[in-house]
Structure 1
Amino acid sequence: MNIFLGTSANACIGIGKAFVIPNAEKRIIPQQHITDDEREKHLQRFDNSLANVITAIGAQLAAVKGDKVQSEIFETYYLMLNDPEFLGEVRKSFASSDMPIEYVLNQKTEEYADRLRCSGNEYLAERAQDICDIFGRVLDDMLDYHPFKIESVPDGAVIVAKTMNPSDTIILSKRKIAGLALIEGGVSSHVGILARSYGIPAVFALDKVTEEIKTGNTVIVDGIAGEVIDCPDEDTIKSYEVKIEKEKQRLEALSKFRNLPAVTKDGVKFSVMANIGTVEEAEMAAQEGADGIGLFRTEFLFMNEANQDIGSAHVHASGFSEEKQFAAYKRVLEIMKGKPVVIRTLDAGGDKIIKSAELQAFSIEEKNPLMGLRAIRLSLENPNLLKTQFRALYRASVYGNLKIMLPLITSVEQVRDALSIAEMAKNELRSEGVKFVEDVPIGIMVETAAAAMIADCFAKITDFFSIGTNDLTQYTLCVDRENTAVAPMYNEFHLAVLRLISMTVKEAETAGIPVSVCGEMAGKNDSALVLAGMGVRTLSVSSKRITKIKALLSQFTLPELQAISAKNLNVGMTLEII
């Protein structure tokens, strides 16, 4: 028995026979010089292979129509293959080179992939694999190279490989795969997203698994612990079979909370809402029994549109139109059927890069983007963009219970400026005779120490608070949680973070305005209890956590929750020091 440690990409368990996918043989790219007379033939071969791959992708896209996750992958590939900027650069480089078209295409693909990997943005870095995958297919067609066929993988196998292409993962999703064990891969990669979407247990960042695990070996993929066990003994297999059965029973037991309110043992009511980024996620939230939407990250609407063009050096956001926004907001409000829906204005910047002609200020090169022109700052630098978003939001307001939230607020002036733009949008709609709800509540994200420290000032001019614990922790502790060198210092239970949260909750209570938490703390068992004991009565979490949090709260009384909070706030220690 051999245990490999890695990173969990989907927290569930699978047992099956290993199928080790061999590392792809390296393509032999021709490097002999060509003459001018040969150029036309090279370009014709490139165009033919490009057309062949576009046709194949188009057929695959048609075959998965109705499956959003699969469709998005193939749509991304289709747009990459038709990206005029990338293809133009390939042709331009070939025109000034005396090397074969295969050599030029390979060089340009690697150049663009490296650019994405070094972008400083996790989403873009993960897309480097996509561009290598799809233009690798074009190269294979040009070279008449036929790599390993993923279709040969048997049903029920545990896939062991160096890496996986998203398109291969889609094929495997139809084969009832027992698990994925990969040397490479990121949690936010398309492969990771697909694994979670299809319920495939997955562990990435494993060392030497393709060398030491043999095809046919029994393998356990423990996506909860982030482990892969090769050739487990009978006792280990039996213990994991028990775990799988218990998890199945636990999920079935939790399902009873789906349509029940969140209530403590002594009858204190809570709202457990959902964090979403797309319309489809709103549908999932409704199915999971969400009490509403506590955070609709609108930037993901724009990123999904913009990043379809990921093969380009410039990412263009075509999703900023008022009509597209209105349609999305309206649909989410309709799905939630009168339950509150908190929609956050564009929170672009930092690690959520969107480049567009509509975001001129975004072209500035920033040394520290997380501290730079992002969120409300970026929106206020582009007032027409913010006004368009307000117009779409107000137009949608008549279809449900809308609330609007402003991100990364650090000053009263920012709120006043945003409210002024909102009023301009309302005046335009009035003059056009468009119906909308006049008194849509507008609140702020409390995600910096500055906002928490002057929460009393914000409470006088806003309608609600939502505490974003991810950024609050990061900014308070000066820790970039994406930086592995300091990631262990990222601690949501740091006394400074907890005190800032407690301070914000108390100021909201004093002012009589609602306060919620929509950061990761709200969806974790230990921190959810602490927040509940502090006085937070609305928690917004990922849809899959809703029933779990409801079940958790039902196990405690309010005094018990308050005792847990007091202990974590170090009340006793503080008094002792004084």
Structure 2
Amino acid sequence: MVRIKRKKVELRFKGIPVSPGIFIGRVIFFLTPRIDIRPRKIRIEDIEQEVARFMRARQSYISELERMKSSFQGGLISLIDTQIAMLRDGTFEREVLSLIRNQQRPAEYAIDRAIQNLTRSLRTSDSEYMRERANEMERLAHDLIRKMGDLEPTAPRAAHIRNKVVLAYDLSIQDTLNLIKKGAKGFAVAFGGITSHAAIIIRNYKLPAVFGLGEEFVQALQNNEIIEGDRIIVDGSKGHVVVNPKKNTVEQYKRLLEEHKRAQKELLQLVDKPTVTEDGIRFAVNGNIDLSDELQLVMEFGGHGIGLFRTEFLFQDYGQNEDGQTRVYRNIARHIYPGHLVIRLFDLGADKLIGTMKPETALGMRGIRALLLEDSQKTLRTQVRAILRANRRGNIKLMVPMISTIEEIIAVKEIVQDEFKELRKRYRRIQFPEFGVMVETPSA
């Protein structure tokens, strides 16, 4: 038998840069089996058995996630807590059980249909974060289904993964952590974005990664245009992936890699230098963050404080959870002290703050205007209380988004003062925060 040598062609893909850096290595696959769920019916006498299957599988998955917590550090533990909260969500459970009992559907179909119903409004959101939360919920549901049907991907041995670039359709938290522990050095993933939990973990480990490579990338994988062992370049800074690069492409990226390393080395030498102007005026260098886990990077590169904490990413996980928000704010304020932490109130549209409001009705309603609506003031007061409770050291400042009128400023200050007065009865150490606004609208 004559083996025909495969002609290697340079393939280029563009995706979302989710973790900066460049790595040149070899391909290893981690391809999750596609789930084919058909709407069949089960027998009436099998309904309670199917309910029990779902409950056992869910509890087993929760126990697995609880055990995984020991593998995480700092804020990454909150990612596990978020997934556990999703699995325990009462609405999700009721939806699944209703589909099993009332429509005689198997557990796998019920899980998939329930998550589609629950994420429908998130998928139509104009917020990338909200859309990614929908993807995260679907990812978790499909992981649960795979565990029920023994459809989990077979992970390559550690020796095969070490110093390789992982190519995947999608990645769960567990998959990502296991692959990193086994020595993966880069990631090229068909789906997901910068706020996906897998991307957050990869960023935390400072490994280059590109997500959202799309259907063209999927087709290349399915058509065997890419095979294991192919040479690959992952540019996590610009979102480029090159498979079977030409010699001049490799040389170009090697030069970029050297320039990047040299620039990083020069910048790192400035980390501990005093920030003083030539005429002797000291100033602070602060970093802006969207996720609490990014605090580590700000501190590592010499940041004195957090110039702006955009809290929208907290909304889905902790929107009505005062204790959860308090823990996040307090942890950041403690680690950045004596530097300041500027927390911006949720800058979201009214249709996200008030689940019953349609997007077309909510046009023009965002930022503080949306938060001051009667139906969303509970969310505002919850966040204000969490910020106040976290401000034990007096280094937290409160920022109000999308101010249009002086009346809005007065209304928010009154709410903050009311909540502070009540909280001081129980928390004597808390301090009133400095108060600021973002002037972003023409009317302001």
TM-score for the superposition, normalised by structure 1: 0.64
Q: Secondary structure at the match of 1:135?
A: helix
1:34/1:99 contact within 8 Å kept: yes
The answer to whether the aligner puts 1:5 opposite 2:13 as a matched pair is yes
C-alpha distance in 2 between matches for 1:390 and 1:22: 44
C-alpha distance in 2 between matches for 1:129 and 1:430: 41
Paired residues for 1:443-454 under 5 Å: 443-451=436-444
Percent identical: 28
C-alpha distance in 1 between matches for 2:301 and 2:408: 36
Q: Secondary structure at the match of 1:339?
A: coil
1:347/1:376 contact within 8 Å kept: no
Larger radius of gyration: 1
Q: Secondary structure at the match of 1:196?
A: helix
C-alpha distance in 2 between matches for 1:219 and 1:447: 43
The answer to whether the aligner puts 1:350 opposite 2:357 as a matched pair is no
Change in 2 beyond 3 A, CA 1:235/1:54: same
Change in 2 beyond 3 A, CA 1:97/1:192: same
C-alpha distance in 2 between matches for 1:218 and 1:433: 59
Q: Work out which of the residue numbers 163, 166, 170 in structure 1 matches 2:173.
A: 166
Q: What amino acid does structure 2 have at the position aligned with 1:148?
A: P
Partner of 1:403: 397
Give CA-to-partner distance per residue, 1:423-442, whole Å, 9 cap, x none.
Answer: 4445556778946657x542
1:186/1:204 contact within 8 Å kept: yes
Change in 2 beyond 3 A, CA 1:286/1:22: closer
Give CA-to-partner distance per residue, 1:479-506, whole Å, 9 cap, x none.
Answer: xxxxxxxxxxxxxxxxxxxxxxxxxxxx
The answer to whether the aligner puts 1:92 opposite 2:101 as a matched pair is no
Deviates more, 1:52-61 or 1:8-17: 52-61
1:203/1:221 contact within 8 Å kept: yes
1:380/1:386 contact within 8 Å kept: no
RMSD between aligned alpha carbons?
3.5
Partner of 1:372: 365
Partner of 1:204: 211
2:393/2:431 contact within 8 Å kept: no
Paired residues for 1:133-532 under 5 Å: 133-143=139-149, 145-152=150-157, 154-206=161-213, 207-208=216-217, 209-210=220-221, 211=223, 212-263=225-276, 270-277=283-290, 281-282=294-295, 284-306=297-319, 317-319=320-322, 329-344=329-344, 346-350=345-349, 353-354=352-353, 363-367=356-360, 369=362, 371-375=364-368, 377-379=370-372, 381=374, 393=387, 399-425=393-419, 427-428=421-422, 434=428, 441-451=434-444
| Uncovered stretches (5+) of structure 2, i.e. residues with no partner | 1-8
| Uncovered stretches (5+) of structure 1, i.e. residues with no partner | 307-316, 355-360, 452-578
C-alpha distance in 2 between matches for 1:125 and 1:340: 31
Partner of 2:6: none
Q: Secondary structure at the match of 2:438?
A: strand
1:277/1:298 contact within 8 Å kept: yes
The answer to whether the aligner puts 1:76 opposite 2:79 as a matched pair is no
User: How much has 1:390 moved relative to structure 2?
Assistant: 5.3
Change in 2 beyond 3 A, CA 1:115/1:213: same
Partner of 1:49: 57
User: How much has 1:116 moved relative to structure 2?
Assistant: 3.4
Partner of 1:485: none
Q: What amino acid does structure 2 have at the position aligned with 1:248?
A: K
1:159/1:180 contact within 8 Å kept: yes
C-alpha distance in 1 between matches for 2:283 and 2:194: 31
2:82/2:317 contact within 8 Å kept: no
1:2/1:232 contact within 8 Å kept: yes
User: How much has 1:18 moved relative to structure 2?
Assistant: 1.0
Q: What amino acid does structure 2 have at the position aligned with 1:366?
A: P
Give the length in aligned residue pairs: 426
Partner of 2:129: 123
User: How much has 1:191 moved relative to structure 2?
Assistant: 2.7
Paired residues for 1:547-562 under 5 Å: none
Q: What amino acid does structure 2 have at the position aligned with 1:197?
A: N
C-alpha distance in 2 between matches for 1:250 and 1:421: 47
Q: What amino acid does structure 1 have at the position aligned with 2:285?
A: V
C-alpha distance in 1 between matches for 2:148 and 2:18: 35
User: How much has 1:147 moved relative to structure 2?
Assistant: 3.9
C-alpha distance in 1 between matches for 2:131 and 2:195: 10
Q: What amino acid does structure 2 have at the position aligned with 1:404?
A: L
Give CA-to-partner distance per residue, 1:219-278, whole Å, 9 cap, x none.
Answer: 111223322222223443344233323322321211122222445667676532122356
C-alpha distance in 2 between matches for 1:55 and 1:46: 14
Give CA-to-partner distance per residue, 1:24-54, whole Å, 9 cap, x none.
Answer: 24446472x4332232333333333333333
User: How much has 1:444 moved relative to structure 2?
Assistant: 1.4
Partner of 1:504: none
User: How much has 1:215 moved relative to structure 2?
Assistant: 1.2
User: How much has 1:130 moved relative to structure 2?
Assistant: 2.9
C-alpha distance in 1 between matches for 2:51 and 2:212: 39
Change in 2 beyond 3 A, CA 1:9/1:279: closer
1:349/1:369 contact within 8 Å kept: no
